[in-house]
Homo-oligomer: A and B are copies of this chain.
C-alpha cells in the first residue's frame, strides 16, 4: 500500500483524501490543516489522522475539541508521497520541507511550473513523472485542455489551438469573490497564462488562450477551436472523444444546457459533493469547418484534477503504467 499524506485539506485536499482512500493500492497516512474549521471536524469524522500544518496554531485544535496526531513534519516523514494541496504559492514554500524528509511531493497547478521537475497530466505524459521527486498536477483548466488535446493530437495532428476560457468568478464556498453582474477580460492581455501552461505538457504545441471572468460559481466553460492537420468528419471526432475515459460526452437528449443542470446531474448520479471529474463536453457542439474543430466543454474547477493527483501518486510510487493507473483510479471512483 502506498502511504499518501495530504498537506492542505481545503477544496482539493479533502477530495484527494477521499479519492486516495477509495484506491485499492493506497492509504491515507493523514491530512494536515492550518485551522480547526468545519473541514477539520469532518476529516476526523472520516477517520483521517489530522496533523497541524502551522506550529503556532496547533493549540487551536484541542481548544476546539479536535484531536490531532502531531505536526505536519511527522506526516511527511511517515508518507511515501505527499500531496500538497495548500493555497497557491504555499506549495513552493513547502518544497524544502518535503526534500528534507526525502519524501516525493505532488503540487497543484496554482504553483509556478518551476516548483516541480515535471508538470503532469495522466492522459498526456504519465511516464514523465516516474523518476521525479517533485511533480506538479496542472490546473483545472490546463487539465481540461490537455485531456481534449491529447487524443486530437494523436489522431489528427494539431496545427494551432485557439481557446477562450470563460471562468467562474469563485467557488460556491468563496463568499468574498466577484464579479457580480460583470464580464471581465481576465487578463486583458493576450495570451492568458493557460496557453503557456499547456505548453508545460505539450512543449511544441501552438496555442493561444484568452481568459474571461463572469458572475458564476459552478464550473468554467471553454470555447475551443483547434485547427487540425487533417479534416475528419465531425462524427469521427465525436467518436474519438467519446472513447476518452475522462471526457463525458453529453448526449443531445440529456437536456443539459448549462453548468447548473450538469451539477444537478452529478448529484443525481450520487457523485460525492456533486463532483464532475471529467471534462463535460457537449456532443452537439462538436463541429468541423474544413480543418477547424470547435466545441464547448465545461470544467469542474473543484474536482477535475482529483483523479490526476491519484494517478500522479501512482506514477511516482507505483509500478502501473498510464493505462493501468487511469483504469484503477476511474474504477475506484466510479468514473
Chain A residues at the B interface, C-beta cutoff of 8 Å: 160, 162, 164, 166, 168, 179, 181-186, 188-191, 208, 210, 212, 214-221, 223, 225, 257-260, 282, 284-285, 287, 289, 292, 294-296, 298
- Evaluate whether A181 and B260 lie within 8 angstroms (CB atoms) in the complex, with A162-B292, A216-B215, A292-B162 already known: yes
A290 to chain B, nearest CB (A): 9
A282 to chain B, nearest CB (A): 5
- Evaluate whether A183 and B223 lie within 8 angstroms (CB atoms) in the complex, with A284-B188, A284-B189 already known: no
User: Which of B183, B189, B219 meets A221, CB within 8 Å?
Assistant: B183
- Copies of the polypeptide in the assembly: 2
Whether B212 pairs with A215 at a CB distance below 8 angstroms is no
A178 to chain B, nearest CB (A): 9
A256 to chain B, nearest CB (A): 9
Whether A184 pairs with B214 at a CB distance below 8 angstroms is no
- Evaluate whether A210 and B189 lie within 8 angstroms (CB atoms) in the complex, with A181-B217, A182-B216 already known: no
Residues of B within 8 A of A223 (CB): 164, 185, 210, 212, 223
Residues of B within 8 A of A168 (CB): 183
A108 to chain B, nearest CB (A): 23
Whether B260 pairs with A179 at a CB distance below 8 angstroms is yes
Residues of B within 8 A of A260 (CB): 179, 181-182
A198 to chain B, nearest CB (A): 15
Known A162-B162, A223-B223; further 13 A-B contacts with Cβ < 8 A? A164-B210, A179-B260, A183-B219, A183-B220, A183-B221, A183-B298, A184-B259, A188-B282, A190-B285, A190-B295, A208-B225, A210-B294, A225-B225
Q: How far is the CA of A208 from the CA of B288 in the complex (A)?
A: 11
Residues of B within 8 A of A296 (CB): 185, 188, 190, 210, 212
Could you write out 30 A-B pairs with CB less than 8 Å apart?
A: A160-B292, A162-B162, A166-B166, A166-B212, A181-B218, A182-B218, A182-B259, A183-B214, A183-B216, A183-B219, A183-B221, A183-B258, A185-B221, A185-B223, A185-B258, A185-B285, A188-B282, A188-B284, A188-B285, A188-B296, A190-B285, A190-B287, A191-B289, A208-B292, A210-B223, A212-B221, A212-B223, A212-B296, A214-B216, A225-B225
A212 to chain B, nearest CB (A): 6
A312 to chain B, nearest CB (A): 29
Whether B208 pairs with A289 at a CB distance below 8 angstroms is yes
A291 to chain B, nearest CB (A): 11
A217 to chain B, nearest CB (A): 6
A314 to chain B, nearest CB (A): 33
Whether B189 pairs with A285 at a CB distance below 8 angstroms is yes
